[in-house]
Structure 1
Amino acid sequence: MTQSKHPLAIALLTSLSGFTAATLSTNAAADNWYIGAEFGAGSYTTSLSSNLDLDKEDSEKKAVNELDSSNYLRLQFGNYINKNLRVYGYMQVGDNTELSYEEYSMGIINIGDDLVQVPVKETVQFDKDDYQLGLGSDYLFHFNDDWSVFAGGNLGYYSSSLKYTYKSNVANLPGMQYSVSKTSKNNGVTAGLNAGVGYNINEQWRLETGAKYSVLVDNDHKIQFEDEYMTYKFKGTSQYYLNASYQF
């Protein structure tokens, strides 16, 4: 997946970036700039397609439901255009998800002229990472000077990777070890909607909590070795978050 496969979305993101930059520049003198940090936790909707005959006990099948973590840390920098509208840019890092499965079985090898049964240890490991850059805007409704609710959306660009590693070790014998790995990388467009409630601790500090739903367009990771393949699809994410910001 490359950026050029989403020309309309990238054009929209570019236009929004220009509009946001112009808006922030226009309002710079208003002293309504803020910086914030946000932690979120949730899960992807995931699925697996494969031409392998996998059952629920296979490591590759188990992983589809355990790779769904979408926890993240986000840094935001923005401006309150007025009392009810703000715009911001953000950088986001998803938590690194590492899964490892071990299986043991008995195999048969040749030692001299004899067939010997030996223990075999198989290890399957997954490593998942994702990053985002984007822009967003929120509309705020104030109940009073301290409490408010808000809703908004964001549009951004994501980069994600999924690494699959298989290792086998036959009875810890030198020369009887095997390892192979494959890494799938994706880049594309992400979009989301969010809503929440905020509380002004004082004139500078503000706390917010809420929920959001996001999609990463075409975030499919295909792991393929010769004629065998597995495709892990990471669709929409549902997340809850806590945000602290400082206005200066």
Structure 2
Amino acid sequence: MASNVSERERLGPRPVIGLPTYRERTRFGSWDVESAVLHESYVDMVVRAGGIPVLLPPSGTAFVELVDRLDGLILTGGADVEPGRYGGRGDESLGYTRPDRDNSEFELLRLARAAGLPILAICRGLQVLNVALGGTLIEHLPDVVGHTEHSGGPGDFTANQVRTVAGSKLAAITGAELTVYCHHHQAIAALAEGLVVTASATDGTIEAVELATEPFLLGVQWHPEADATDTRLMRALVLAAHTYRAERGE
């Protein structure tokens, strides 16, 4: 006899997914003030996939008490990583940086990994992951690939094709080839020890990595939140967060 129990009822309470925010000057109503903000598309993506989004301000550090309250983490996109963290030049091609955000997110990543938290790293998040583990970045990708097809226009994305690596966690989620939405002028140069490339663009740019030694740690250079029709990556993170929650006995 068919069960009438929904998937959400079977899995239990919705998992809590942390989303780091940016500290930016923001105008709303009669105010023009420094604010902790994040693109709403990240919030919508988590909700569509069955999670509860929680915004994490860049406080300059991170706390184990915070990680204890999360079931999953998304390292969100945004500013360039401070080049001094990976021996970069910091020349005129560098975009804006946010050292306070770097401080928060590098420590947040360390604590989340120590706790075994499922992690999805998006765009800047993938770069944070690579640098945190000892890798380096291409400071201005157009200088290497000879085009700006990864960069998008101001406040916009470009669609690119990527191919995944057979047998990877990513390929199991998305299939062999997919269209992705990009907005990045930097990319992985030297791959950090332990990371495995799981997708590349047609020009050879690394577009996804994973850490096979951890239950769920995926990084993608594109922006899955830019495609409201495809929740596969976010849904995979939410399912991993359910497992993490269950294994903690919650």
| TM bin (shorter chain) | under 0.3
TM-score norm. by structure 1 comes to: 0.24
Q: Kindly name which structure, 1 or 2, has the bigger radius of gyration based on alpha carbons.
A: 1
The structure carrying a bigger strand percent of its residues is: 1
The structure carrying a bigger helix percent of its residues is: 2
